[in-house]
Amino acid sequence: MLCKEQQKQGLHPLIVSCGLPGEVQKPIEEAARKQGIDLFVWRMPAGINLRSTRDLIAQLKSQNVVLLHSHGYKFNILLGILGKKEIGLPLVSTVHGYVKAKFPKKMWVYELLDRIFLKRFDAIVLVSEKMQDISAFRNGKKIYVIKNGISANAPLLDSSLEADPYQLLAIGRLSPEKGFDYLIRAIAELNKNAVVCQLTIFGDGMLRDSLSVLVNELGEQNNITLAGFVADAQQYFHKYQLIVMPSLTEGIPVTLLEAMRNRTPIIASAVGGIPEVLGANSEFLIKPASVSEVVNKVRAWFSKEETHKQQLVDDNYRRFTEGFSAEKMAINYMSLYQQLMSLGGKQ
């Protein structure tokens, strides 16, 4: 979404998509090609591969790239190790959030290295004000907050899809920080009553097998579906009465913004930038890591009058249009890029 807005601004963004040798086309590569965004596909061995990183940078310079903007810990680490002096280009990183991994897990090491090598970047962008509470980002001169945004124009949806009663949807990687185990347990608790809720989860990941086991242990295999990765999930929003986002940590998730834009009700954990988006007193917020919170909020939603429900989703739509458009995000990034280029990347 950022790249499309940057094209409108007259910039020439180039998406660099890295993967392992032999890896087939990735979803981001398919999406970039469909949207007419320039794409540079690069395959390199896993790990701290500085030789391949140097080769990549040389290739990018040959294509007249003048600034590097990283969106993940892997290239934060690789670019940080090489440093601005060797690379010779301004370095920007957007930090979308941390999963709060625990020692001695590999992700804990990656997050530690990420914080260390981000200090060598010219600018570190956080996607929410709340992220400034992270100790590594407090009072930093190179810290900027640019909130995520998406196009204000919602895509045309299949009008034949109508929300079925008590149909719930969740979207995200099947990983610990998404809190899907709490949601699955909450559905089982809700279904002890006469009304049966159906939950569909779009996404794939490391916890797929363990979550499948949990669904079976709770006897909910007829009510909970792990549907795997679904491209452009928002096209199915109208089929569901409610989206639930039980995350333990987040930045500003795109799914949240898409739901607000499409006037789809969404219940979400009060973590990261979510309260900034929905409002600190929103009726849609839940405490993280709590089965009872999910149960009570879902019950409360289904008991509301239709007029009250409509008012709430209309309020969400207004908040989205006022503060989280892709155009506003792109303007803020353009200002940052211009500042760095005028300084030659020196901060």
Per-domain boundaries in the chain: 2-149+326-343, 167-323
What pLDDT is stored for residue 163 in this prediction?
A: 64
What pLDDT is stored for residue 346 in this prediction?
A: 52
CA dist., res. 51 & res. 36, Å (int): 30
* In CATH, 2-149+326-343 is 3.40.50.2000: yes
| Each residue's pLDDT tens digit, 270-311 | 999 999 999 999 999 999 999 999 999 999 999 999 999 999
CA proximity to 77, closest of 45, 121, 44: 121
Mean pLDDT value across residues 145-151: 95
What pLDDT is stored for residue 99 in this prediction?
A: 81
CA dist., res. 246 & res. 199, Å (int): 13
155: tokens are 């895509």
Whose tokens are 């079925």? That residue is: 164
Mean pLDDT value across residues 32-42: 96
Mean pLDDT value across residues 310-326: 95
Pick the CATH number of 167-323 from 3.40.50.720, 3.40.50.300, 3.40.50.2000, 3.90.650.10: 3.40.50.2000
Instruction: Give the β-pairing of 285-286 and 266-269.
Output: parallel
ω into 104 cis (within 30 of 0): yes
Contact 87, 94 (CB under 8 A): no
DSSP conformation letters of 188-256:
HHHTTSSS--EEEEEB--TTHHHHHHHHHHTT-TTTEEEEE--TTGGGGGGG-SEEEE--SS-S--HHH
Per-residue pLDDT band for 160 (boundaries 50, 70, 90) equals very low
In sequence order, what are the beta bridge partners of 226? 201
136 has a pLDDT exceeding 80: no
Q: Measured in Å, how far apart are the chain's first and last C-alpha atoms?
A: 28
pTM recorded for the entire structure: 0.86
Close Cβ partners of 66 (under 8 Å, ≥ 6 residues apart): 89, 90, 341
What pLDDT is stored for residue 4 in this prediction?
A: 94
| Each residue's pLDDT tens digit, 71-124 | 999 999 999 999 999 999 999 999 998 887 888 889 899 999 999 999 999 999
| Each residue's pLDDT tens digit, 185-210 | 999 999 998 779 999 999 999 999 99
Please name the amino acid found at residue 284: F
Burial degree of 174 (CB within 10 A; 0-12, 13-18, 19+): buried
Please give the backbone phi and psi of residue 342, each rounded to the nearest 5 degrees, phi first: -70, -30
Whose tokens are 């007029």? That residue is: 307
Of the chain, the percentage scoring pLDDT greater than 90 comes to 85
C-alpha distance from residue 276 to each of 139, 172, 223, 310, 316 (Å): 20, 20, 33, 21, 12
